[in-house]
A = this chain, B = another copy of it.
Amino acid sequence: MPSLPPLSPTTRSTLTRNRDRALHDRQALYSLLDQALVCHLGVVLDGSPVVVPTGFGRDGDTLYLHGSTGSANLRAARGADVCVAVTVLDAIVYARSLQHHSMNYRSAVIHGTARPVTDERAKLHGLRVLTEHLSPGSWQHARHPNDKELAAVAVLALDLTEASVKQRSGEPTEEPADLADGTAWAGVLPVQTTFGDPVPATYVPPGTGVPSHVAGRTIRPPAR
């Protein structure tokens, strides 16, 4: 594995609790971002927080977001201070005490300024990265945007500079007294995300095969 630059947490991205859960490891950030399908974008609108789910894509140390040029939330994010959270839930953690019930998860919180990507070549590159994340193989398979479609989509770029990755894994935590005397069951219940069988659109001619980039798709494993 190549040597990677460390994450650069600042005060707001530095965890104040559970520092042992913080992995300041760029590879962990990449791995999580490559596996997750949805992120949650936070902006400040009229002084209040607004959080919306959206797709994303990663190329190196750049996170891409996109949406309609008419989207109020995307307009609010343009050139603004944003926060993007990406979470994968791995398991429900059952401890002997309710206090230590928890979840195993991996999450990233990224802060930065969302730069509008307006240069046509750069915008097409961003859209390609977004497409390859949402639906690997579709960039080669499906019709590319025409000028009108390209003009209607806004692409934003966010540097993966100020970010923290947090995770919990493994066994439940217990109090010594519960370990010694507790009788409640304890353990983890894995949470799994998988793809089901592809459902062709009604207008696809009968007998058309499902292309391999759809039929063979799997959730990217945590470690890459």
- Footprint of B on A, CB under 8 Å? 12, 16-17, 37-38, 40-53, 55, 68, 70-72, 81-85, 87, 89, 91-92, 94-99, 101, 103, 105, 107, 109, 111, 127, 131, 134-135, 138-139, 141-145, 149, 153, 171-172, 174, 178-179, 182, 184-204, 208-211, 214, 217
Q: Which residues of B contact A186 (CB under 8 A)?
A: 200-201, 203-204
Contact partner of A190 (CB less than 8 A), chosen from B94, B179, B192, B196, is B196
Report B-chain residues with C-beta under 8 Å of the C-beta of A52: 85, 107, 109
Tell whether A214 pairs with B196 under 8 Å between CB atoms, given A42-B49, A43-B49, A45-B12: no
Q: Give Cα distance in the complex from A144 to B95, angstroms.
A: 11
| Also in contact, A134 and B198, with CB within 8 A (given A17-B71, A40-B40) | no
Distance (whole angstroms) from the CB of A70 to the closest CB of chain B: 6
B residues in contact with A174, CB < 8 Å: 203
Check B199–A190 contact: CB distance below 8 A: yes
Q: Given A87-B53, A143-B178, check contact A171 B99 (CB 8 Å).
A: no
**A188 to B196 Cα, complex, angstroms:** 10
Residue of B nearest to A152 (CB): B99
The answer to whether B17 touches A70, judged by C-beta atoms less than 8 angstroms apart, is: yes
Contact A48 B89 (CB under 8 A): no
**B185 near A105 (CB under 8 angstroms)?**
no
Report yes or no: A83 in contact with B139, Cβ–Cβ below 8 A.
no
A99: chain B residues at CB < 8 Å are 143, 145, 149, 153
Additional A-B contact list (16), CB under 8 Å, known A186-B200, A188-B198, A188-B199: A17-B70, A37-B103, A42-B83, A44-B47, A49-B83, A53-B85, A94-B138, A94-B142, A101-B134, A101-B142, A141-B185, A142-B184, A143-B178, A171-B202, A189-B195, A190-B197
